[in-house]
Amino acid sequence: MTEAGPTHRFHADEDRAILRRRAESLAQAGEEAIAIETVGLLLFRLGEEWYAVPIERVREIYNEYAVTRVPRVPDFVLGVVNVRGEIVSVTDIATLMRVPSRTEIDLSDEKPPAIIVANDTCSSAIVVDEIGDIVDVPKGSVEPPLSTLDKSQIEYIAGSVFIEGRLIGIVNLEKALEPVGENT
Amino acid sequence: MVEFDRSAFISKFQEEATDLLQRLNEGIINLEADPVNRPIIDQWLRDAHTLKGSSRMVGLMEISDIAHRMEDIMVKVREGMIPYTADMSDTFFEALDTVVFLTENAGKDAASEADLEGVTGRLVAMANSDVLAPEPGAALEAEVAAAEAAAEAAALEEEAEDAEGDEHDDEGQDGAASGPKRAQREETLKSKTQATVRIRTSQVDRLLNLVSEVVISQIKAEQRARDLRSVSGMGADVHNLWGRIKTMLGMLPADEQGAFLDDIRLLDDLFGDQRRALVALAKEYADDMSRTSTVVADLQEHAMELRMLPVSTVFTTFPRAMRDLAKQYKKDVELIIEGGDTELDKKVLEEINDPLIHIMRNAVDHGIEPEADRVAAGKPAKGTIKLVARQEGDRIVIEISDDGAGIDPDRVRSAAVRKGYITESEAKSLSDREASYLIFEKGFSTAAIITELSGRGVGMDVVREFVVERLKGSLDVDSVLGQGSTFRLTIPLTLAIIRALLLRVSGQTFALPTSSIEETLRVEPSEVIKVEGREVIRRQMRTIPLVHLRDILGLDSVSAPENKIPIATLGFSGHRLGLIVDEFVGEQQIVIKTLGSHLKRVDNVAGVTILGAGEVVPILNVPDLMANGRQMTGMRSRRAGSTVKEQEGGPRRVLICEDSFTTRELERSIFEAAGYIVETATDGAQGLAKLREGLSPDAVVTDVQMPNMTGFELTRAIKADDMLSSIPVIIVTSLERDEEKAEGINAGADAYITKSVFNQDTLLDTVERLIS
């Protein structure tokens, strides 16, 4: 690093040529990367709004389940389910993110679909109103979350993306899957 | 003094050191590529620090010394005092190789064979080399050296991996053969045999998870087999009925029969075939099922055994610990161990070490009397502490008994009254046995100064809660004044399975561990007595407060009460509480599972279990129920400690005086994680200046050896200053000789924690206790 200075002075022309070549190749690589780099999203509906989770965070979609309620947990935790011997929490993501225009969840009757999502440390089944398509969107088209969202909501949204005229919020799973009751 | 098996103790260290050394080697390689990467340096420092501490604890001072010197250098690198250079790697690798050599030959007089002086000399030189730019020509040389070193490290790693498999026969076979030379090492590599496989416990746990699913499926399948048999029974009924109809049809005039005679015969055949097939199927299925259930039972048993280890793996370190304790408290004590081959779940075994050490320390400190007293009382001069393990059904009982003074119930009573745990009249009504249970109360202590967290009465509450909460067991004490005490730990064979009472509240099923249930009753409503707005019942001359379980759990009231009220009475820490439930379902063995990765800690719930039908049932947490229940009934006695403090509000402030950057930051992170505001000073003088400038912390945590002003001088200065003397001072140090401890106490320190027992909980508990 320290001898970079003198080298430049002696071989300025050669260096410039090398730098130019490198810049060109980097630019090319960049274009290719943009063309390839997409992000897969699983869309789902909460009330009248559409949201998405990155597909690589989705473990499975769960329709048949029996929720066991757990006493004295935050209101967004509906209980736990048994997924082939593994106990997984059930999260009412709409309540957690304070999504308006949302009807109460009734687990006793016909159950709403659930998506089991996982980050590095924890997994949970999030209950949604309807499961939509899986779409691939270019990474570049993901915009920061709407500035009109209020503070309590914005931390649960990692970004937003326009698909077929609909603005879709991408859920920030790192925040949504924060362990419950760790510091109490 | 008792003999102790040092090799067993050391093999534990070797196992740990193998991992540490591998990471330290990797760290150096990574640093070469990225010399200013702070996380790598931090991790490396932590590992070196651990190596220093661990080697020190097993008495391998040479390793501790090298680790200490390496740490010194790396701290300077981190603080930018010296740059990381490639030739440093050489010295580090050489030092690490020496540590590997010393580790492998631990317990033998191998120190002389290694070039210790050379290594330490080079390390010292490196530590003292202030900013020293690499010579122009040295770069290439260093690179070559680094490549060599990397190759060396790779070989080392290979061996470390291989050594993991058979750490037990290390010392015997090749201890002397594997010197720091690579050629020799490769030779020994070949001669090693793979007798065991090391598997991560998480892998075993996953396997056990699946096995318990298989067991559940099997239970369901057995139910299906029974259903099938009853279906085949229905087939027999149908056949009989058909037989009667057929006979009646046969009695009809022949011309009326003709039309469906063929169909009747066909149906008759079909019914016969169907019945035979059904009977055969039911029988074959039942046979298959009984075969599978044997296999599944075996599978479950063997899967559980994967985690079973003899308690001796933990017990072997105790003679050494006991020797140190005896020395520390200046007592002459013999330790007798029995039942070391009793097997226990590995998870339980890992957790059991600390509580046992705690109880033994307590026995040495409080139990065993000074020699003169013993002789005067007609006892042998040498005290005896006995550690006995045995299996009783599905539980393991471990008893720690001493032939010391025993617990004086009157002294405990008066101490409890003085500290405000109970009133004078309550003290009088307590039986001796109940009085001795008071030692398990939170923060109960009869000592004036805490020398270390363990012992001194402090922590018996922690031990007990730990045993109940973490190990799902119980801890009791039996004591005869003048003859000694026996602490009895009863823990389940495995943490995975417990016996539980299933009960229903507000339409939901819960499991309550039977280990804490004293009795289950159905009482007439008239037996419930109302006293000052509380509901109680009288049982065996005692008043037991009652509380609705649904109120603790915050559930709605659903069913109308039955004629008789079902009540489960819990006993925990000498307290009793009656839980009113809606219905008892029954008692059974249950497999404990956690609430999953998302729900880390839920009040009142210890985990869940999956019943035969696949139903998930929460398991109640008895200590939580007791605490919340007692609060609701207003029976909770005045308590020192966290609850009071939290109500006062406002974050607490602590001043850390510590010259070692690592320790300082470590302590800072511990306190910050616990919600403290942390102020730091790099030596005693700076700390004192901050205090005199008006910084008024709730506690001061200080090291001893610091430049400008030592921790002892600081303590004396604080205690001599009227404005500051009320601030508790906690000395955290690696000095652990008695004279030094005495100096700390004489200086006026409120607590003295040696780094060898230092951990997060010790530090926090001590500080929180002193603040409250």
How far apart are the CA of B552 and the nearest CA of chain A, in angstroms?
9
* Top-ranked range on mean pLDDT: pick from B193-197, B311-315, B334-338, B659-663: B334-338
What are B697-720's pLDDT values in tens digits? 889 998 888 888 888 889 989 988
The reply to whether B420 and B470 lie within a common domain is yes
* Top-ranked range on mean pLDDT: pick from A68-82, B160-174, B525-539, B560-574: A68-82
pLDDT value at residue A149: 67
Provide, as residue numbers in chain A, all residues whose Cβ is less than 8 Å from the Cβ of B615.
66, 68
The reply to whether B363 and B483 lie within a common domain is yes
pLDDT value at residue B651: 76
Q: How far apart are the first and last CA of chain B?
A: 40
Flag if A177 and B555 touch (Cβ within 8 Å).
no
Q: Which residue in this structure is represented by tokens 């279906």?
A: B231
How far apart are the CA of B618 and the nearest CA of chain A, in angstroms?
7
Contact B444, B457 (CB under 8 A): yes
The reply to whether B59 and B102 lie within a common domain is yes
The reply to whether B274 and B390 lie within a common domain is no
Say whether pLDDT at B487 is over 50: yes
Where residue B261 falls (left for φ over 0; alpha for ψ -120 to 50; beta otherwise) is alpha
Q: Which amino acid is at A135?
A: V
Residue B529 lies in a domain: yes
Domain closes at, from B277, B305, B333: B305
Average pLDDT for residues A1-23, to the nearest whole number? 56
Contact B356, B391 (CB under 8 A): no
Contact B302, B211 (CB under 8 A): no
Domain closes at, from B166, B191, B216: B191
pLDDT value at residue A7: 41
pLDDT classification of B170: cutoffs 50, 70, 90:
very low
CA–CA distance, B594 with B527 (Å, rounded to integer)? 38
Contact B655, B715 (CB under 8 A): no
pLDDT value at residue B494: 66
CA–CA distance, A109 with B315 (Å, rounded to integer)? 55
| Mean of the per-residue pLDDT values of chain B | 77
Tell me how many degrees the CA angle B350-B355-B356 measures, rounded to the nearest 5.
Answer: 90
Provide the token pair at B466. Answer: 């730990």
pLDDT value at residue A145: 80
The reply to whether B708 and B593 lie within a common domain is no
Q: Tally A–B CB contacts below 8 A.
A: 91
Residue B430 vs residue B399, higher pLDDT: B399
pLDDT value at residue B568: 93
Asked if the C-beta of A142 comes within 8 angstroms of chain B's C-beta atoms, the answer is no
Asked if the C-beta of A59 comes within 8 angstroms of chain B's C-beta atoms, the answer is no
CA B694 to chain centre: 41
What are B34-77's pLDDT values in tens digits? 888 888 888 888 888 878 877 776 777 788 888 888 888 888 88
The reply to whether B184 and B324 lie within a common domain is no
How far apart are the CA of B737 and the nearest CA of chain A, in angstroms?
37
Say whether pLDDT at B456 is over 60: no
Asked if the C-beta of A74 comes within 8 angstroms of chain B's C-beta atoms, the answer is no
Flag if A71 and B617 touch (Cβ within 8 Å).
no
The SS3 of residue A26 is helix
pLDDT value at residue B178: 41
How far apart are the CA of B145 and the nearest CA of chain A, in angstroms?
20
Contact A80, B562 (CB under 8 A): no
The reply to whether B411 and B435 lie within a common domain is yes
Provide, as residue numbers in chain B, all residues whose Cβ is less than 8 Å from the Cβ of A179.
597-600
Question: What CATH number corresponds to the domain at position B765?
Answer: 3.40.50.2300
What domain range includes position B427?
Answer: 315-492
pLDDT value at residue B542: 79
Provide, as residue numbers in chain A, all residues whose Cβ is less than 8 Å from the Cβ of B631.
none
pLDDT value at residue B772: 66
DSSP B592: -
Flag if B599 and A72 touch (Cβ within 8 Å).
no
Question: What CATH number corresponds to the domain at position B431?
Answer: 3.30.565.10
Flag if B553 and A179 touch (Cβ within 8 Å).
no
Residue B310 lies in a domain: no
Q: Note whether ipTM > 0.85 here.
A: no
Residue of B36, B211, B213, B599 to mutate, testing the A interface (most A Cβ within 10 Å of its Cβ): B599
The reply to whether B245 and B381 lie within a common domain is no
Residue B1 lies in a domain: no
Say whether pLDDT at B140 is over 70: no
The reply to whether B336 and B457 lie within a common domain is yes
Asked if the C-beta of A84 comes within 8 angstroms of chain B's C-beta atoms, the answer is yes
| Residues sharing a CB contact under 8 Å with residue A110, sequence separation 6 or more, in sequence order | none
A38-176 maps to which CATH number? 2.40.50.180
The reply to whether B227 and B183 lie within a common domain is no
* Phi and psi torsions of B289, nearest 5°: -65, -40
pLDDT value at residue A184: 40
Q: Closest Cα partner for B24 from B56, B58, B69, B70?
A: B70
Provide, as residue numbers in chain B, all residues whose Cβ is less than 8 Å from the Cβ of A182.
600-601
Flag if B603 and A181 touch (Cβ within 8 Å).
yes
Flag if A82 and B604 touch (Cβ within 8 Å).
no
Asked if the C-beta of A88 comes within 8 angstroms of chain B's C-beta atoms, the answer is yes
For chain A, domain boundaries: 4-36, 38-176
Instruction: Compute and round to an integer the Cα radius of gyration of chain A.
Output: 23
Q: Could you give the number of structural domains in chain B?
A: 5
pLDDT value at residue B451: 42
How far apart are the CA of A173 and the nearest CA of chain B, in angstroms?
12
CA–CA distance, B575 with B754 (Å, rounded to integer)? 34
The reply to whether B231 and B349 lie within a common domain is no
Residue of B598, B625, B631 to mutate, testing the A interface (most A Cβ within 10 Å of its Cβ): B598
pLDDT value at residue B573: 62
Instruction: Compute and round to an integer the Cα radius of gyration of chain B.
Output: 34
CA–CA distance, B489 with B360 (Å, rounded to integer)? 13
Residue B196 lies in a domain: no
Residue B456 lies in a domain: yes
Residue B382 lies in a domain: yes
Say whether pLDDT at B139 is over 60: no
The reply to whether B253 and B145 lie within a common domain is no
How far apart are the CA of A162 and the nearest CA of chain B, in angstroms?
31
Say whether pLDDT at B177 is over 60: no
3-state secondary structure B140-171: HHHHHHHHHHHHHHHHHHHHHHHHHHCHHHHH
What are B237-285's pLDDT values in tens digits? 888 888 888 888 878 777 776 667 788 888 888 888 888 898 899 999 9
Tell me how many degrees the CA angle B417-B423-B428 measures, rounded to the nearest 5.
Answer: 90
Contact A39, A155 (CB under 8 A): no
Closest Cβ opposite residue B608 in set A87, A177, A181: A87
CA–CA distance, B455 with B446 (Å, rounded to integer)? 11
The strand pairing partners of B344, in sequence order, are: B309
What are B580-632's pLDDT values in tens digits? 999 999 888 787 888 888 998 888 998 898 886 678 999 998 888 888 887 77
What are A68-115's pLDDT values in tens digits? 999 989 889 999 998 877 889 999 998 888 887 566 676 666 778 999
Domain closes at, from B470, B492, B514: B492
pLDDT value at residue A90: 94
Provide, as residue numbers in chain B, all residues whose Cβ is less than 8 Å from the Cβ of A72.
553-554, 602-605
